[in-house]
Chains A and B, each alone.
Chain A
Amino acid sequence: MNPRINDFIVRFANVNGTGSASANYLFAKTVFRMGVPVTPKNIFPSNIQGLPTWYEVRVSERGYLGRREGIDLMVSVNPQSMAKDVLNVKAGGYFIYDSTKKLNPDYLREDIHYLGIPMMEMANGAFEDPRKRQLLKNIIYVGALARLLAMDEAVVRTLIEEQFHGKKSLVEANYKALDLGMDYVEKHYSYPLDFRLEKRDLLKGKILVDGNTACGLGAVYGGATVMAWYPITPSTSVAEAFEGFCKQYRKGEGGENNYAIVQAEDELAAMGMVIGANWNGARGFTATSGPGVSLMSEFLGLAYFAEVPAVLIDVQRAGPSTGMPTRTQQSDLLAAAFASHGDTKHVLLFPATPKECFEMTAESFDLAEQLQTPVILLTDLDLGMNDHVSDPFYWDVKRKYKRGKVLTAEELEGIGKFGRYLDSDGDGIPYRTYPGTHPTKGSFFTRGTSKDEYAAYTEDGAAYKRNMDRLTRKWDTAKGMVPAAEVNLSSQSGAVGMLYFGTSTFSSEEAKDLLEGDGVAVDSIRIKAFPFGKEVVDFVESHEKLFVIEQNRDAQMRKMLIMELDCPPKKLVPVLNYDGMPITADSIRQQIIQSLDPKKTSNHELSKTAV
């Protein structure tokens, strides 16, 4: 039988807080450097030390970056989760375990292979320092994998050197551990396995990075100067990334900071600070997750109604309430789109890759200032905290910040009476001034109460309605300004389409290929923003049946389409996943096939993966 090249899944089962992350990353990064598409996913508990944690790496020559079910190789170094880990291996797959202790006979299955490696025993023999033993035990299994999966040894060594740049003793200790793993495999097993790696050149120019880092960098490039935030998983690393990049790229000549980061007392205060900063002419933003969005809702309504720009990055996790803080979901759509009471709606952006996290974060500042309203970037834990193969970050040399309609002192001199909420241009977007612009002109009172065109408080129903109608005009203007959806027509017939956004993209695109193999041609549209542009309206109108793929229970995107586009609900079929794990292509395909032809049951040869 021919070996399977660059198409398999490895899962590492570790104990949280034992330094396994860097060893596992070393494995994934090696695959990346070998030019082979790779998707690592961290499956971790809401815990600092002691609980089970997994790291799953999908290797896909064809470039499928979504999650797939069915584990070909399990590296099990956590006795706590071993019973479950054994069951999760695909029939015919491999189970690597630490054979320092004899394997519990209950864990023996007849349909998988066992590869025992005495990792702890070898680490204890080779290293003195108990802490090092623990860390280097992890490198021993990377060594074993290097042989079993035919990893490029030189790449692994280079990566180790890069990681410990110059620290010779650390590099040597890691090399030693690596050798122990490789030697053991060489002596005891036949290698490589029937699935393995082979060097390719499929990732030219690509980068491997997580979405939160990209968002933090995007905020630096987008000109954010004020960040206020409150720690919450999985958004915390956005703030950390922003701070890290600011320390590198935002220092003045005397070491002073060209930015201000405030760790707020809660999410309410964080959003208040963002609004205060933007009101005063600085680009301010915050990052949070579902519970934070709930807390920020009142302020979001104020920013909408008082027309103050604000940027919010919502790294979604599984809700409701505290939900599953370390699992992914796309379930804040409705909460974000309609955050706050009264007739309120917000602009949303849906990045699908780190490149888009970077670009859309930067763009969100332009949009927020041009539209004078909050812009919410909806990413999620999967995109935010996992590394993704991505096109490189891009910035146009000629790009200038779009600061929107802001009047200068000179411009104020040239106009008659300044009306903060006058719709002079007919696009619903009024002109604003920053505090301190002019000694006698342009000052106004910003308020969450109703006001007339000159910002004076009023309870006159007609004036209130005029203002609300202008906000609707502004909303319509936004439709033409937000990033347009990506449309892909393949069927020509216009009968069946699929609609997806954010991290559902990878698996949806893979599912599309699978369906094509089944003889089902499907058009597709990837939504990038809310409100929906004309291309979305056209796509929905021109298809008889539309599969709306998303990762929440209540089909929230579907609901938004129904509400905003006024289309017949029956033609929008929900395709859902909400177990907290990223959606898979196989699941999408199954759901679509079932809906198109309920009698036909597709073969599902992969064993279910339970976490």
Chain B
Amino acid sequence: MSYLKPLFSHPKLPKNKLGYTLKEYEGSLSTLCAGCGHDSISAAIARACFELSIEPHLVAKISGIGCSSKTPTYFLGNSHGFNSVHGRMPSVATGANMANRDLVYFGVSGDGDSASIGMGQFVHVIRRNLNMVYVVMNNGCYGLTKGQDSATADQGSKNKSGSINPFQAIDLASMAIELGASFVAQSFSGDKQQLIPLLKAAIKHPGFAFLNVISPCVTFNNNPGSTKSYDYVREHIEATSARDLVPGKEEINVSYDAGKSTHVELHDGSEIQLNKLALDWDPEDRNSAVNALQKARAKEEILTGLLYVNTDWKDLHRTLNTTKTPLNQLKENTLCPGVKTLGQINEGFR
């Protein structure tokens, strides 16, 4: 069951440009297990929207089915949300986005929802470069049905019941790059410092932004031998870079690591500032991104951070040349060709 949090808030909570506190970006109390990685991601999404001063009601949250897909209830309570059917969030998001290009679209999905039942839609939403943030809360197992291996479980990983997964894992981040996603990042639910700037950059990205976030399942996949447990992920994590989003040339946060830095400028003037850790990796080169992922996998490392970004590709609205006015705001005078035209059309069929 869902219930509401107390309405009381401290008068001295920091406010963003809109005058909102973080509280305005929260949702109902989570019903997920205590310690679930997904709740950290929900909190990071709320924080990212707060820091970017996004009007909560101008965000649409869309999800499929599963533990991860429940989370949109737990952040941005003033946004409309849509918990659709299993694996089909991308199509609902596509239709919604076509109807109103002015909202920010959060698609929330899980590894079962995206890598198995929803693989087809995942692939095609990437292909169309729909302007949205697509977050996969990836825990390598089916939580709501009690811990079966999912398609992203690593080969050889042991689940809670002790069985070893015999199948190859689907690597969603590599796949997304391969399919032409214009923004691909990977992170860990336990690394708020990395996740929040990545989410901010994803929101600002003018196209499809994919975030694969490893989010351990405390109840069914946090055991020794699992490659998606908190301990394992912490020991094997490797970042491509420390990065931050600098919206409109104005820096919010200082990056947390030193090194050679690079900037990726987005169309609205904001910048992603990247402090590169690996010299042979270039965030605007697909080959280099895929290579870095493959090399990390060979070393049994989980590469996190921004992996690939391309701000030149057209999003679906630009490809379809839709009007700047959201389609859901067009009225009869624009939509209906009228009686006189109908007379001419009739004449054409005589």
Q: Does B56 contact A (CB under 8 A)?
A: yes
A443 and B79 contact, Cβ closer than 8 Å, known pairs A220-B337, A221-B337, A280-B60: yes
Docked complex Cα distance between A437 and B79 (Å): 10
B147 to chain A, nearest CB (A): 21
A280's partner among B81, B91, B99 (CB-CB below 8 A) is: B99
Given A443-B57, A457-B1, A272 contacting B327 (CB threshold 8 A): no
Could you give, for residues 238-279 of chain A, a 1 whenever the CB lies within 8 Å of some chain B CB and a 0 otherwise?
000000010001101001111111101110111111111111
Instruction: Compute how far the CA of A438 lies from the CA of B58 in the bound complex, rounded to whole angstroms.
Output: 9
Tell me which residues across on chain A come within 8 A of B81, comparing CB atoms.
443-446
Q: Is the CB of A273 within 8 A of B92?
A: yes
Could you tell me the distance between the alpha carbons of A261 and B317 in the complex, rounded to whole angstroms?
10
User: Judging by beta carbons under 8 Å apart, are B85 and A225 in contact?
Assistant: no
Contacts of A167 in B (CB 8 A): none
23 example contacts (A-B, Cβ-Cβ < 8 A) are as follows A207-B350, A221-B337, A223-B332, A228-B94, A256-B322, A260-B320, A265-B123, A268-B91, A273-B94, A276-B91, A276-B93, A277-B95, A277-B327, A279-B95, A281-B100, A284-B99, A298-B85, A401-B336, A434-B100, A438-B57, A440-B57, A440-B78, A448-B83
How many chain A residues touch B (CB < 8 A): the figure is 73
Complex Cα–Cα for A458 and B336 (A): 42
User: Which residues of the other chain, A, contact B1 by a CB distance below 8 angstroms?
Assistant: 457-459
A456 touches B2 (CB 8 A): yes
Chain A residues within an 8 Å CB radius of B96: 276-277, 279-280, 435
Task: Digitize A465-501: 1 where CB-to-B-CB distance is under 8 Å, 0 elsewhere.
Answer: 0000000000000000000000000000000000000
Asked whether A79 is an interface residue with its Cβ less than 8 Å from the other chain, the reply is no
Whether A448 pairs with B85 at a CB distance below 8 angstroms is: yes
Give the distance in Å from the alpha carbon of A443 to the alpha carbon of B57 in the complex.
7
A226 at the A/B interface (Cβ < 8 Å)? yes
The CA of A396 and the CA of B332, in the complex, are separated in Å by 13
B82 neighbours in A (Cβ, 8 Å): 276, 279, 445-447
Chain A positions 429 through 462: 1 when the CB is less than 8 Å from some CB of chain B, otherwise 0: 0000111111110011111110000001111000
Is B121 touching A392 in the complex (CB atoms < 8 A)? Answer: no
List chain B residues, Cβ under 8 A from A456: 2
On whether the beta carbons of B94 and A302 are closer than 8 Å, the reply is: no
A208 within 8 A of B: yes
A563 within 8 A of B: no
Give every chain B residue within 8 A of A302 (Cβ-Cβ): 84-85
Complex Cα spacing A401 to B85, Å: 30
Question: B339 in the interface, Cβ–Cβ < 8 Å?
Answer: yes
In angstroms, Cα B260 to Cα A559, docked, is: 74
Q: B100–A280 contact, CB under 8 A?
A: yes
Whether A226 lies near B341 (C-beta < 8 A) is: no
Interface residues of A (CB under 8 A from B): 33, 206-209, 217, 220-221, 223, 225-226, 228, 245, 249-250, 252, 255-262, 264-266, 268-282, 284, 298-299, 302, 392-397, 400-401, 433-440, 443-449, 456-459
Q: Is B263 an interface residue (CB 8 A)?
A: no
B335 at the interface (CB under 8 A from A): yes
Most buried by B among A206, A449, A456: A456
Given contact pairs A258-B323, A445-B80, enumerate 16 new A-B contacts (beta carbons under 8 Å).
A220-B336, A225-B99, A258-B335, A269-B120, A397-B339, A434-B100, A435-B96, A436-B103, A439-B55, A444-B80, A445-B72, A445-B73, A445-B82, A445-B83, A446-B81, A457-B2
Assess the B95–A228 pair: CB atoms within 8 A.
Answer: yes
Is residue B13 within 8 Å, beta carbon to beta carbon, of the partner chain? no
In Å, the complex CA distance between A264 and B95 comes to 10
The answer on a CB contact under 8 Å between B84 and A395 is no
Is the CB–CB distance between B332 and A275 below 8 Å? Answer: no
Within 8 A of A (CB), among B215-242: none
Nearest Cβ distance between residue B155 and chain A, in whole angstroms? 28
B158 within 8 A of A: no
- Is the C-beta of B88 less than 8 angstroms from some C-beta in chain A? yes
Inter-chain contact B321/A256, CB cutoff 8 Å: yes
Known: A281-B328, A444-B80. A221 touches B88 (CB 8 A): no
Q: Are A282 and B78 in contact (CB under 8 A)?
A: no
Query: Once bound together, how far apart are the Cα atoms of A115 and B97, in whole Å?
Result: 62
Residues in B291-350 with C-beta less than 8 Å from chain A? 316-317, 320-324, 327-328, 330, 332, 334-339, 341-342, 345-346, 349-350
B327 touches A282 (CB 8 A): yes
A266 to B123, CA, bound (A): 12
Instruction: Tell which of B57, B324, B337 has the most Cβ of chain A within 10 Å.
Output: B57
**Residues of B close to A299: CB separation below 8 A:** 85, 88
Residue contact B78 to A443, C-beta cutoff 8 Å:
yes
Chain B residue at smallest Cβ distance from A435: B80
For residue A220, give the distance in angstroms from its CB to the closest CB of chain B.
7
Do A436 and B88 touch (CB < 8 A)? no
| B160 in contact (CB, < 8 A) | no
**C-alpha spacing A355/B120, complex, angstroms:** 38
A439 to chain B: which residues have CB within 8 Å?
55-57, 78
- How far is the CB of B299 from the nearest CB of chain A, in Å? 35
A225 to B317, CA, bound (A): 13
Nearest-Cβ distance from residue B87 to partner chain A, whole angstroms: 9
- Tell whether A256 pairs with B337 under 8 Å between CB atoms, given A226-B99, A277-B95, A443-B57: no
Which residue from B57, B90, B91, B324 sits with its C-beta under 8 Å from A256? Answer: B324
Task: Tell me the smallest distance from the CB of B328 to a CB of chain A, in Å.
Answer: 4
From residue B15, how far is it (CB to closest CB) to chain A in Å? 15
Contact of B339 among A225, A259, A395, A458 (CB under 8 A): A395
